[in-house]
Amino acid sequence: MSNVNTTPAPRKARNRVGADIHPEIPMPEWVEERYSDDDGRVVVDETDYIDGIFCLTRCQSHTLEDDGSWFTHDEHAFLRWRTAWPSEPNVRLETEEFTILPKDAPALVAVLQRFHEAAKA
């Protein structure tokens, strides 16, 4: 990992991109950008954390129901990175990604730490 600060810069609510999109839906403090899909039935709140080859997008979406109410989905994160395979003749690059729920992050960190320790042995 690099020494890049992965904490998003603090922003005041009035400076957040898209804060005026459906203000009736509460916007969490961590959100840096809100946008809606083309037909206006889905609103997405997100913030990116970037560290070297890794980009984690913290995300929460809201769906307009048929009765006019908004359903808020579970907060989750998309983790993406570029894998470079240096042993291959042309250093093949692949973009990898997966989705994780916040409650599962500690278990992921723990297994990555165990892998890291085993790989050093």
Instruction: List alpha helices for the chain, DSSP H.
Output: 105-120
- Between residues 96 and 13, the one the model is more confident about: 96
Residue among 101, 99, 98, 51 at smallest CA distance from 74: 101
For residue 36, being part of any structural domain is answered with yes
* Alpha carbons 121 and 14: distance in angstroms, whole number: 51
| Residues β-bridged to residue 72 | 62
Average pLDDT score, the chain: 85
pLDDT score, position 53 = 87
For residue 8, being part of any structural domain is answered with no
For residue 43, being part of any structural domain is answered with yes
* Alpha carbons 54 and 97: distance in angstroms, whole number: 10
Question: What share of the chain in percent tops pLDDT 90?
Answer: 64
Residue range(s) defining the domain that contains residue 95? 13-120
For residue 3, being part of any structural domain is answered with no
For residue 94, being part of any structural domain is answered with yes
pLDDT score, position 13 = 40
Q: Could you tell me how many residues make up the chain? A: 121
* Alpha carbons 110 and 106: distance in angstroms, whole number: 6
Reported as a single tens digit per residue, the pLDDT across 6-64 is 444 444 444 578 889 999 999 999 999 999 987 889 999 999 999 988 999 999 999 99
Residue among 70, 62, 63, 56 at smallest CA distance from 101: 56
Q: Integer distance in angstroms from the first to the last C-alpha of the chain? A: 19
